[in-house]
Structure 1
Amino acid sequence: MDTRQNQKSMKLLNFIEEKGNKLPHPITIFMLLTIAVMILSHIFYLMGTSVTYEGVNKETMETEVLTVKIVSLLVPEGIAYMFSNVVNNFTSFVALGPVLVAMLGVGVAEKTGYIGALMTNTVTKAPKKLVTPIVVLIGVLSNVAASVGYVVLVPLGAIIFLGFKRHPLAGLSAAFAGVAGGYSANLFLGTNDPILSGMTTEASRILDAGYTVNPTDNWFFMFASTFLIVLIGTLVTEKIVEPRLETFVPDKQNESVQTLSDKEKKGLLWANISVLLTVAVIALLTVPENGVLRGEGGSLIQSPFMNSIIFLMMVIFLVPGIVYGMIIKTIKNDKDVASLMSASLETMAGFIVLIFFAAQFIALFNYTNLGTLMAVKGSAFLQSIHVDGVPLLIAFILICAFINLFIAADSAKWAIMAPVFVPMFMQMGIAPEVTQVAYRIGDSSTNIISPLMPFFPLVVAFAQRYGKNNGIGTVVSLMLPHSIVILICWTIFFAIWYFIGIPVGPGTSLTY
């Protein structure tokens, strides 16, 4: 019976791979979605569709019942908006600036070889049995550094597995599962924590003007979730993904794991020392109550430190990258540093182009009020089925997981959903911090199977190194088992956490 079920699963994954490879490029999909928004907005406009909800009047900043009408993009005003806001939609897209700034430092650390040496040194020293969990763990931890996991660890995971005579696509899937499937889990705070908490704060103040959600308010749950994601990623890779793959025969063009030379080991040592010194300097500016990076009254949450966290992350990667490069001679002068910074942004060219089209779609979607319509109607549906507590949160997780297949930018989705779901759940006695956790579970679980996720094409390109016919369907079929198991197990873990009554972060409550 188990054999038959396994054969059916393999056929399903093979079918998904075949059909998925026929999907158009994500840029084309965003263009088609934009056209769909234009058409739907005009249809609902002609129907006179409107939606009423309780929110904050932007002019008076007071809570009141608001009525929003669907705005058409095919009337003169809509057409004018589309043409006149193209540049602003792109440059103001929330994910663009932080990623590019972080990559200035991460890129230097990558291009000099520091990150590769650090990861290779860590993974190759591990016992063979621990390679998979370490690859997944480093993938989860890499989220602290924005996109470095996608750019560095996903291809490195494939190379590491190949070095241990295992299928490189299994290594790719393990790394991708950690980086994207466990995107919200981490032992440390990541770049998305302050972004999401800020949006949750604004949404919660629709009902409670003094409510504040801090970047640390999900840390307990996300810390514990890290170990869950590592366990899931390891078991799925070794029990489901890898057995399905055929024997891989490497050719001359395939990479292999290189051991570090004495000079590289020396560079790695001094680079790591420079990291500790850099962190120490930042700590001296931040830890004391009168530290210059503290906020008013010694606040750490509302402070220059939190406002500059992206820049500080850039510095933490830039300094060891330069030190490592100087020792192994990949950096000889300041011109080399500037060139490496430029090269790091060149690797993001595909991401930037995709963001341009994604930003237009999201901006137009918000302008038409279709997002508000969907969110309000969705919340009305949840209320109509008369569920609350854990069942309501599970339903919300599933909705987030589904929406994530079509709108991959986590901050963009939360900007649309938070103003509706956070106040609604507050009225049901659920704290905003808990709602944010539920959103992050759903948002992370389906990252690895969404072709609209900005780095998905990059992962496809990495997969093609190990087979010219590998495409979108190949990656989806590799990652679907990860996605399903992560969604189910993480949701169960969350439900148990909620039932026990453990705070999701320091100083937080599960109830409002």
Structure 2
Amino acid sequence: MTARNNGLLTKFVGWIERVGNKLPHIFWIFLFFWFLVIVLSGVFSGISAVAPGGNEKIEIISLLNRKGLDWILSSMVSNFTKFPPLGLVLVMMMAAGFAERAGFIPAIMKTLTSVPDKLMIPAIFVIGICSNLASDAGTVIIPPLTAALFYARKKDPIFGLILGYVASASGFTANLFIAGTDVLLAGITNTAAKIVDPNYNVYPTANYFFMVISVFVITIVGTIFTIKFAMPKLASWDEEYERAQVPHEYLTPLTEKEIAGMKKAGLAAGIFFLLMFLLTIIPGGPLRDPVKNTIVPSIFFNGMIPILFVFFVIAGWIYGKNVGTVKKPTDMINYMVESMKTMASYIVVMLPIANFTYTFTYTNMASILAIKLAHLLELAHFTGIGLFIAIILITTFINLFLSSGSTKWAFLAPVIVPMMYYLGYTPEWTQLLYRIGDSSTNSFTPLFTYFPIILGFASVYKKDVGVGTVISRTFIYSLLFLITWTAMAVVWYYLGLPLGPGAAIRL
């Protein structure tokens, strides 16, 4: 199937590409919104609203005066340095980057090569979905690995490539473990929640229960769909595949030394995490809350980032020492430095994002907009399931043009989180709805950062693979993920299940 034969789908994809390519860099987008908020604070100065459940009147504060100028200049640096996602992500990526470069995380992913045929499809989904432990690296590692896996078993390698791509890209937000995504989004949600309640705390475990179950549900639904429909209709062996020059490392299974190293590293890191958990759940444990003696909140959840940091350092160090990728202490430092180099663009973009967020909050524009939107929705009786689906679909649509999950959430959270709060829904629930819409269409949009890379991997096996070939296949999986997750959210809502430890749906 080529791009010319896809009809409406090709036109739709082409439209997305044209519109998306006209968007400036995300730095300039948020810089524009930052200055726009400053200007609008002067235009709408004095407009007020009363928060539901309280008598305090909130007014928009103008920044177009001497006092406002003083706040802008004196707080610009501190807004950047205290922005929660900045420190959280850098610390998390320092350790995860070390574990990745030491070989521990790639070794886990490479276990696919030894999986028997009957378990291959579900294994691809589970490992692909959980590959975001290595952040975006999973989207680069998994697809060529699954393509080579299919190729070695005389199955359509391009279909295998796309299967690994949709699992790692569209399944990005789920995991069996707490990953960098949880840390990053929770930091942004926490900042937005404090607009309406300064004492509210959102933890990286906010959606953990839902996301763990998601791994199994998406795997089961995806496996059945793939075996019963997708592979029979979309996967076929082409004679051109016989001439493919497949990189040798993708076809090489783990060595005995790598397997032994992975087992030792997993055991040691697992024991450490189990110890931290036990020190939290035992009555009077040292990692419980020092005042309330509770599990949620507790020192354990407040210190989740340092705990995960040590977890990945232990795993990376023991694996690296066993296989020879880590020979001396400075190797760990060098690997961490390398991982930080990949975060340079993230750090730069955080400057306007952080200042936009705090300026939007300081002027009270975020609160007043949220209050008035919540009031309008109540008058229109647009709450419940209809509202939830609308948030998911809006996020999905925006994701077609702006694929960075954190930047979208940094823009949406200051309005949506307080709005939903005033309607009686927790920030954790709002974050979950966003995550569903954000993740589902990652593999479908051609503006996703790694889409061109996937086309490059596909060309290894077949030279004339076009955008339409990839899009036509990723679209059906994006739709499958979106429908499945939305249905899960509806069921979760009606059953009133907790989203994570101490995280409910309603306030």
Q: Render the CA deviation track for 1:282-304: whole Å, top value 9, x for unaligned.
A: 34544433433332143232333
**Could you tell me which residue of structure 2 aligns to residue 315 of structure 1?**
310
Q: Which amino acid aligns with 1:112?
A: A
How many Å separate the matches in 1 of 2:352 and 2:368?
A: 19
Match of 1:489 in 2: 484
RMSD: 4.6
Cross-structure match for 2:405:
408
Unmatched runs of 5 consecutive residues or more in structure 1:
57-61
**2:282 match:** 288
Letter aligned with residue 92 of structure 2? A
Q: Which amino acid aligns with 1:221?
A: F
How far off is 1:156 after superposition? 3.8
Q: Give the aligned partner of residue 301 of structure 1.
A: 296
Question: 1: distance between equivalents of 2:178 and 2:55?
Answer: 32
Q: Is the 8 A contact 2:129 2:167 kept in 1?
A: yes
| Aligned 8 A contact 1:254 1:466 in 2 | no
Q: Does 1:11 align with 2:1?
A: no
Which of 457, 461, 475 is residue 449 of structure 2 equivalent to? 457
More displaced 10-residue stretch of structure 1: 377-386 or 290-299:
377-386
Count matched residues: 491
Provide the TM-score with structure 1 as the length reference: 0.75
- The 5 A counterparts of 1:426-445 are 426=424, 430=425, 434-445=429-440
d(CA) in 2 for partners of 1:159 and 1:137? 18
Question: In structure 2, what is the Cα distance between the partners aligned to 1:229 and 1:10?
Answer: 27
- 1:132 and 1:171 in contact (8 A); partners too: no
Task: Please say if 1:131 is aligned against 2:115.
Answer: no
Give yes or no for contact 2:166–2:474 (8 Å, CA) kept in 1. Answer: yes
Q: How does 1:97-136 map to 2 (within 5 A)?
A: 97-121=87-111, 123-136=112-125
Gaps (5+ residues) in structure 2?
none
Shift, 1:345, TM fit: 2.7
Residues 14/118 of structure 1: CA separation in 2 closer, same or farther (3 Å cut):
same
The answer to whether the 8 Å contact 1:117/1:260 transfers is: yes
What letter corresponds to residue 115 of structure 1 in structure 2?
Answer: I
Inter-CA distance 307–188: structure 2 relative to 1 (3 Å threshold):
same
* 1:185-196 map, 5 Å: 185-190=174-179
- The answer (yes or no) to whether the contact 2:50–2:56 under 8 Å persists in 1 is yes
- State the shift of 1:42 in Å: 7.6
How far apart are the structure 2 equivalents of 1:33 and 1:115? 34
Q: Which amino acid aligns with 2:419?
A: F
- The answer (yes or no) to whether the contact 2:154–2:237 under 8 Å persists in 1 is no
| 1:97-496 equivalences in 2 (<5 Å) | 97-121=87-111, 123-143=112-132, 146-147=135-136, 149-150=138-139, 152-154=141-143, 156-166=145-155, 170-190=159-179, 218-234=207-223, 239=229, 243=234, 247=238, 249=241, 250-251=244-245, 256-283=250-277, 285-296=279-290, 297-346=292-341, 348=342, 351-357=343-349, 359-361=351-353, 363-364=355-356, 367=359, 375=370, 378-404=373-399, 406=402, 408-409=405-406, 412-413=410-411, 415-426=413-424, 430=425, 434-449=429-444, 456-458=448-450, 460-461=452-453, 463-467=455-459, 479-496=474-491
1:65 aligns with 2:57: yes
> How far is the alpha carbon of 1:418 from its aligned partner?
4.7
- 8 A Cα contact 1:217 1:433, kept in partner: yes
Deviation at 1:139, TM superposition (A): 2.9
- Whole-angstrom distance in 2 between the partners of 1:82 and 1:478: 48
Equivalents in 1 of 2:441, 2:249: separation in Å? 29
Change (3 A) 1:334 1:17: same
In 2, Cα distance between equivalents of 1:509 and 1:46: 38
Counterpart code for 1:174: L
